[in-house]
Amino acid sequence: MRPFRYERADEVSAAVTTLVREPEAAYLAGGTNLVDLMRLEVMTPEVLIDVRRLTSDRIEELPDGGLRIGAAVTGSDLAADLRVRRRYPVLSQALLSGASGQLRNLATTGGNLLQRTRCPYFQNVTTPCNKRAPGSGCSALEGYQRDMAILGASPACVATHPSDMAVALAALDAVVTVAGPDAERRIPLTELHRLPDTTPERDTVLERGELITGVELPPPHGAARSRYRKVRDRASYAFALVSVAVALEVADGSVRDVRIALGGVAHKPWRAATAEAVLRGAPATRESFMDAAAAELSAARPLPGNAFKVPLARNTMVSTLLELLEEAR
Amino acid sequence: MDLEIELRVDGTEHRLTVDTRTTLLDALRERLGNTSPKKGCDHGQCGACTLLLGGRRILGCLALAVAHQGADIVTSAGLADGELHPLQRSFIAHDAFQCGYCTPGQIVSAAGMLREAREGWPSAVSKDPGAVDVVLDDEEIAERMSGNLCRCAAYANIVPAIAEVAHR
């Protein structure tokens, strides 16, 4: 690990100012991803600004019936919160399906959103990677492809976003609150992360110095039931090959409302807007679910090593929708 | 860069000066001579370095010591208070290890896990996310302990060792 200076800011504005002033500074929260990347020398900040005690570690009710989650709330506290478990079960399930008990006790909500891809080439400084070293090339295009993206990738980068939590938040229409050098702003979760295009080194739309202060959940949608389903290479403690977050509301045999997001398939949590459009108002049947999944995945461009993800994503979407339909009966 | 920090480890206060790169795991093992937590992968993937931090289980290899100024840490050695902890006795009774390298991490993790279950925390295999009573069957124990790898694969004895203490 390269030497670095450690600072703790007393106020959000001071932390933001330091990060803007110091070109090689980085925020530290739980550290579960950053400390490892520093040890691998994938990231080499000269200054760490500890923000863990700077943002809220509380989950609070919003006047509209939603919840505000402070950026420093740990994964375990968020997953265990009874309001989250009862009103947004998909979020609790997504958190619990990720990492381990020990990691969830350290990792924060803000840090979870900003964790980096686990692409083996990104994490290995001896191999070309456009995300880590822009212009050096993408090793995955001719290499290990099992974990790579099938939607929204580019010739520059086929990495996937590793978060489970962010997939549930994408389906729930969450909004991220951000403090910056000039003003605070609110970013819909689905617009926080970027597709790689020609600049895969940028994971998110955040500008230099911007600090995530919290995540807001809108009130739960009507009578929607929600669920997170994760498919991976071992039963627990592994990243998703494919995951699905679904909230489904059925009335009189038809889909009244539906929210679907996919994990493990793209550079960002993938909101399945095409599938949702096919399903809204359609009969709540296996055939409709198959049609919707096929419509969403018609845009898939798999690599030879991850073509299995297309039927896997289709089947996971359909089976999760069917499970929620069965529960609603 | 060096910074002075205070740590309470297994009930004893320590004041030490550390390089900012020092993890809690390295501070314990290399500076304080507490080799109970083990360095397995040093990447947060194996659980051998599991510690209790303020009563909650965490990974010592991913926690920078300077970020945990004043922390109250318990290791497997500290769980034994004059006599062996019930989990330690149960691991011996069930032969829940072969080489033993992962064992301190397994035991500390189990202690943290049992407290989480008592507080009603759900897991990924919990059937009803809203239920507050946790029944620690073998599937629940395996899921909740999935962050602790045992390359001797003593899992078949680790799960019953923990279950016996959980069901007391």
CATH number of the domain at B20, please: 3.10.20.30
Last residue of a domain, one of B42, B58, B77: B77
**Chain B residues touching A91 at Cβ < 8 A:** none
Whose CA is closest to B12, among B69, B85, B82, B73? Answer: B73
* Same domain membership, residue B71 and residue B99: no
- Domain interval for residue B100: 86-166
The helix/strand/coil state of B88 is: helix
* Same domain membership, residue B162 and residue B99: yes
Residue type, A287: E
* Same domain membership, residue B90 and residue B73: no
CB of A247 less than 8 A from some CB of B: no
Tell me the per-residue pLDDT of A70-106, one tens digit each, with 9 for 90 and over.
999 999 999 999 999 999 999 999 999 999 999 999 9
* Same domain membership, residue B155 and residue B101: yes
Q: Is the ipTM of this complex over 0.90?
A: yes
| Band (B128; pLDDT cuts 50, 70, 90) | confident
* Same domain membership, residue B68 and residue B117: no
- With CB atoms and an 8 Å threshold, state whether B66 touches A32: no
The helix/strand/coil state of B90 is: helix
* Same domain membership, residue B101 and residue B162: yes
Number of domains in chain B: 2
* Same domain membership, residue B111 and residue B154: yes
Domain with CATH 3.30.43.10 in chain A: 1-50
Residue B127 above 90 pLDDT?
no
* Same domain membership, residue B161 and residue B93: yes
C-beta neighbour count of A298 within 10 angstroms: 9
| Mutation for B interface: A76, A100, A233, most B CBs within 10 A | A100
Candidate from A28, A97, A100 with C-beta closest to B47: A100
What phi and psi values does residue B128 have, to the nearest 5 degrees? -115, 105
Average pLDDT over residues B28-50: 98
| Band (A199; pLDDT cuts 50, 70, 90) | very high
* Same domain membership, residue B67 and residue B14: yes
* Same domain membership, residue B67 and residue B8: yes
CB of A226 less than 8 A from some CB of B: no
* Same domain membership, residue B150 and residue B93: yes
C-beta neighbour count of B8 within 10 angstroms: 13
**Chain B residues touching A79 at Cβ < 8 A:** 121-122
Tell me the per-residue pLDDT of A265-301, one tens digit each, with 9 for 90 and over.
999 999 999 999 999 999 999 999 999 999 999 999 9
**Chain B residues touching A220 at Cβ < 8 A:** none
| Mutation for A interface: B22, B43, B59, B149, most A CBs within 10 A | B59
How many Å apart are CA A243 and CA A230, to the nearest integer? 4
Least confident of A28-32, A181-185, B75-79, B121-125: A181-185
CATH of A225-328, one of 3.40.50.300, 3.40.50.360, 3.40.1160.10, 3.30.390.50: 3.30.390.50
CB of A183 less than 8 A from some CB of B: no
Structure tokens at B35: 């080799």
* Same domain membership, residue B70 and residue B128: no
Structure tokens at A148: 């790579």
Last residue of a domain, one of B47, B77, B107: B77
- With CB atoms and an 8 Å threshold, state whether A35 touches B62: yes
Domain with CATH 3.30.390.50 in chain A: 225-328
Q: Which fold has domain A1-50?
A: 3.30.43
